[in-house]
Amino acid sequence: MASPFITEAPVSYDGVVIEAPPDDSFMDPAGYFSQRLFDLEQRVVFPRSWVFVGDLSQLRSPGDYVTETIGNDPVMVVRGSDGELRAFVNVCPHRASTLVEGAGNCGRTVVCPYHGWTFHLDGRLAATPHPRGFAEPVDRSAYGLREVRVDVWLQFVFVNVSGDAPALHEWLYPAPEQLANHSLEAATRVYELDDEVNANWKVMMDNAFCDYHLEFVHENTLGRFADVSTLREDIWTYTGRLTSQWGEEQLSQTDVLPALAATNSYGSVAFGVFPNWFIAAFPNGGCSLMWWNPISLDKSRARVWNYSPDPGADARSDFEMLKAVQAEDYAICEKVQKGLRSRFYRPGPQHYLELRVRGHQQRLMKMLAGAIRRGDC
């Protein structure tokens, strides 16, 4: 199929060729080891994308909040006293301390832990301790929290720091339409993983969007269920899809949703969403979310949340399977991280089950090249 990405003449940055990979290959290996390129990714790619930050179960009551770091920007999403969700840069405008950590409830106001500056849940500055100590009265209208863009799909919450990304549903296309009958808004989070991996975030993404490795890396786990002949990949501007047909062993343990049974949807549908999110939806109304955040040039944070339509079900066996699968992925990513440094390595040809890898790399290179040409680096 023809590539949906149109590129201009290639540019170079810190010795890395910034060019969308041709249809039969992959990106310049030097791109995994350039600190300058990594820094550019943090300044450009993540802030200009829709990035997953949490789900609505964490944001039910006024004062509930979640936090995430998007590129170099700490952000928070908070439920306001009026019931509205708002997202802010999680940085005090006085002396730059982060305001809240993790997830929780901050009460009726957000209070800076450094000097006690206090903010309403809508971001307005409410109070500054010992105000007479300032040479001039503090203009509260000038020192509110910086608001950024937030939106929700089903129960999943996303933030766009730059404010200029396409609408969330456009970014996710065609996942909202194709997963509309999976009832994912009703699924409950039942367990989660949170690990650090010694690999560049792009290595993690390449592996997450690669389906060629399933029967080899996961021979004794997912490979038992993966019939390669049923796997199908497609790519769009910001997403890539994998569909797979489930076998009798899996289906015998699954209550297929009526809306999916009517369409013979007896398998899983997975979407990778640029830049770092993955959702796999199952025919029983459950799903798994995975996302990978850069920590440093050669270290990443890998997280998994698993959702079930029946939170009372015993998910321990699935949890053990998930941990095993993740450990297998971490190990292979660390092997790739080592191998990419070899001066003798050049990217090999693309298998049809690596289409989603190439799509992700094309989007990444196009965004970086655009920033370099505009002088945003």
Nearest CA to 209 out of 233, 192, 225 is that of: 233
Per residue in 271-329, pLDDT (tens digit) is: 999 999 999 999 889 999 999 999 999 999 999 999 999 877 655 567 888 999 999 99
Per residue in 77-134, pLDDT (tens digit) is: 999 999 999 999 999 999 999 999 999 999 999 999 999 999 999 999 999 999 999 9
Extents of the domains making up the chain: 11-47+182-374, 51-160
Supply 29's token pair: 């290996």
Query: Would you call 258 exposed, middle or buried from its count of C-beta atoms within 10 A (0-12, 13-18, 19+)?
Result: exposed
Are 352 and 359 within 8 A, CB to CB? no
Q: What are phi and psi of 91, to 5 degrees?
A: -140, 130
Per residue in 206-247, pLDDT (tens digit) is: 999 999 999 999 998 887 766 788 899 999 999 999 998 876
Are 78 and 54 within 8 A, CB to CB? no
Give CA 174 to chain center in angstroms. 17
Supply 121's token pair: 């849940």
Q: In the prediction, which pLDDT does 1 show? A: 42
Are 325 and 218 within 8 A, CB to CB? yes
Give CA 244 to chain center in angstroms. 22
Q: What is residue 282's three-state secondary structure?
A: coil
Are 119 and 145 within 8 A, CB to CB? yes
Q: What is residue 173's three-state secondary structure?
A: coil
**DSSP conformational letter for 106:** -
Per residue in 1-19, pLDDT (tens digit) is: 444 554 466 789 999 999 8
Rg (CA), the chain: 22
Q: In the prediction, which pLDDT does 222 show? A: 80
CATH class of 11-47+182-374: alpha beta
Nearest CA to 67 out of 159, 193, 151 is that of: 159
Q: What are phi and psi of 70, to 5 degrees?
A: -115, 105
Q: What are phi and psi of 316, to 5 degrees?
A: -65, -40
Per residue in 173-217, pLDDT (tens digit) is: 999 999 999 999 999 999 999 999 999 999 999 999 999 999 999
Separation of alpha carbons 308 and 8, rounded Å: 45
Architecture of domain 51-160: 3-layer Sandwich (2.102)
Give CA 114 to chain center in angstroms. 30
Question: How many residues would you count in the chain?
Answer: 377
Separation of alpha carbons 282 and 290, rounded Å: 14
Are 366 and 7 within 8 A, CB to CB? yes
Query: Would you call 208 exposed, middle or buried from its count of C-beta atoms within 10 A (0-12, 13-18, 19+)?
Result: buried
